[in-house]
Amino acid sequence: GAGVSQSPSNKVTEKGKDVELRCDPISGHTALYWYRQSLGQGLEFLIYFQGNSAPDKSGLPSDRFSAERTGGSVSTLTIQRTQQEDSAVYLCASSFTSGTGELFFGEGSRLTVL
C-alpha cells in the first residue's frame, strides 16, 4: 500500500507568488495534519482535518496560509504572496483517529522563496 504522498517535492518560487502544496493521505485515514519544519527547527503545527469536522486552523501563522481537504481525502495547502520566511519543508501526515492514532508522514515539500 502506498504511503502519504506529497507534491511537489521541491518548489522554488519568487517572493510574492502564490504556491500550492498537495498531500494525498493513506487511504482510509480520517485525520490529516500539516506541519512546517524550518532548518534546525522542530515540527510546527499548521492545521488539522478530522473527517467532516471543521478543521483546527489554530497553527496557521497568517491569513496568507490556507488549506482545504476535498472529499475527506486529498488536501491542498496554499500560501499566498509568499515571503522568504515561508521557506521551509512542509510535511503532511495522516492517521486513523481510533487506537493510537499513529501519524504517518510524507517526505515533505521543500519550499524555497527567493
The whole-angstrom separation of Cα 56 and Cα 66 is 11
Residues at the interface with another protein (CB under 8 A)? 4, 31, 33, 35, 41-43, 45, 48, 50, 56, 91, 93, 95, 97, 100-108
Which regions of 4-87 does DSSP assign to beta strands (E)? 5-7, 10-13, 19-24, 31-37, 43-50, 65-69, 75-79
Smaller CB distance to another protein: residue 45 or 80?
A: 45
Query: Nearest approach, Cβ of 102 to another protein (angstroms)?
Result: 5
Q: Which three cell numbers stand for residue 38?
A: 524550518
What would the grid cell of residue 3 be?
Answer: 504511503
Shortest distance, position 67 Cβ to another protein, whole Å: 16
> Which one, 73 or 80, has the nearer CB to another protein?
73
Residues 25 and 6: their CA atoms lie apart, in Å, by 8
Q: Cβ closer to another protein: 61 or 101?
A: 101
Residue 16 Cβ vs another protein, minimum distance, rounded to whole Å? 28
Residue 17 CB, nearest distance to another protein (Å)?
25
